[in-house]
Amino acid sequence: MMSDLSTMTNAARALIDPEAMVHNIQVMRRKAPHSKVMTVVKSDGYGHGLASVATTLAPFSDAFGVARVEEALTLRRAGIQLPIVLLEGFYEADELPLLVTHQLTATVHCKEQVAMLTRASLSEPLPVWLKVDSGMHRLGFQPEQVPEALAALNACDNVAADIGFLSHFGCADELDNPITQAQIDTFIQVTEGLSGERSLAASSGTLFWPQSHFDWVRPGICLYGISSRIELTGEQLGLKPAMRLTSRVMAVRELKAGEPVGYGARWRSSRDTLIGVIAIGYGDGYPRSAPDGTPVWLNGREVPLAGRVSMDMITVDLGPDATDKVGDEAVLWGPELPVERIARLVDTIGYELVCQVTGRVPRQYLPLNAADDAAV
Ligand SMILES: *Cc1c(COP(=O)(O)O)cnc(C)c1O
């Protein structure tokens, strides 16, 4: 929450709209009406603020997915009681008692983890998802290794009954890539006749591959209103962007034709113009690689970035007749300006831009209108 002091400064801030997130999870639920939803909130809720995101989405979720134990503990401290799945499991045997204490669920993807479980002596058995490598070849047991790993886990007193089966797509955002159907086929083959629950789809699987929904879907990025396919915006998928990254104009300066602005004199004006200096930079997570022309939303229009992104500031070309003033609010991305557009210009994905908003940018939560989320 903002203090009065920071409200008065020109500091960048990320306004987070919980209603957008509630809308988005309902969109994802409707896409996979027969599946439970594991709400993925790793990396500080994709930069939106882990505890607040989880509190907002808990009533609409069946479980949470995180990447690190510390993230799971943050959720427990925030009072989250739903199952929490460590999508990459644990790294060292020392962590296992902590997992039991906090009733976390572990993914087991390699034989080293099986060995750690076998040697441990835990006060209660740990619920486990077994990760299958269905073709992405990053984590998980190869199909032919699954029976042996499963037998070892089934025989292990430290592992709870009803082991689930989880896998992850490498190319589900490419609608014509045959790898995805091959992964689905492999996953079905490997898990055929086994009793555990199954989960394969993240956001793209949930949206574009209904045959991958199984018992649990695991959406992440779409919950924040961002497209998992670079070609589309969240809005085009019926989603609402949850983050509006804003800052303020801190100076308006005259620049003569031919004069450069900023580090390296990368940009020069072709005409006499006005330059707006906005209080946000790569120290806040705005990408330094943004080229000249990258749009910034200001007073109802897009203005182009002019010159290199500094640590604490950017400069935009307001045009000679601009009436923008010091203190005016600029939007770097948000409902007015899809983060996917900025991502394409800097050769990355929306995921990275929202994750890399730094700790000095306060996340400010808009109030959730309780009347609207009753209609689930
Ligand atoms: C991050 C992650 C997800 C969510 O992916 P999105 O593309 O953000 O929906 C799901 N499953 C696993 C294993 C993940 O690591």
Cα–Cα distance measured from residue 326 to residue 38, given in angstroms and rounded to the nearest whole number: 44
Which protein residue's CA is at the shortest distance from atom 15 of ligand 1? 87
* Atom of ligand 1 minimally distant from the CA of 87: 13
Phi, psi (deg, nearest 5) at residue 287: -70, 130
CB 357 within 8 A of CB 285: yes
* Among 31, 36, 40, residue to substitute to test ligand 1 (most atoms within 8 Å of Cβ): 40
Residue 192's CB is within 10 A of a number of other CB atoms, namely 7
Which residues are known binding-site members?
138, 311
DSSP 8-state code for residue 307: S
Ligand 1 center to 265 CA (angstroms): 41
Instruction: Provide DSSP, 84-135.
Output: EEETT--SSGGGHHHHHHTTEEEEE-SHHHHHHHHH---SSPBPEEEEB-SS
Residue 249's CB is within 10 A of a number of other CB atoms, namely 21
Residue holding tokens 């990320």? 14
Ligand 1 center to 260 CA (angstroms): 43
Which residues are known binding-site members for substrate?
138, 311
218 lines ligand 1 (CB under 6 A): yes
* Atom of ligand 1 minimally distant from the CA of 219: 9
Q: How far is CA 295 from the centre of its chain?
A: 22
- pTM above threshold 0.85: yes
Active site residues: 42, 263
> What do you get for the CA distance between the two ends of the chain, in Å?
27
Per-residue pLDDT of the chain (376 residues; tens, 9 = 90+): 444 444 445 489 999 999 999 999 999 999 999 999 999 999 999 999 999 999 999 999 999 999 999 999 999 999 999 999 999 999 999 999 999 999 999 999 999 999 999 999 999 999 999 999 999 999 999 999 999 999 999 999 999 999 999 999 999 999 999 999 999 999 999 999 999 999 999 999 999 999 999 999 999 999 999 999 999 999 999 999 999 999 999 999 999 999 999 999 999 999 999 999 999 999 999 999 999 999 999 999 999 999 999 999 999 999 999 999 999 999 999 999 999 999 999 999 999 999 999 999 999 999 987 555 444 4
131 lines ligand 1 (CB under 6 A): no
Residues 6 or more apart whose CB falls under 8 angstroms from that of 370 comprise none
Cα–Cα distance measured from residue 366 to residue 287, given in angstroms and rounded to the nearest whole number: 25
Give the bridge partners for 159, in sequence order.
126
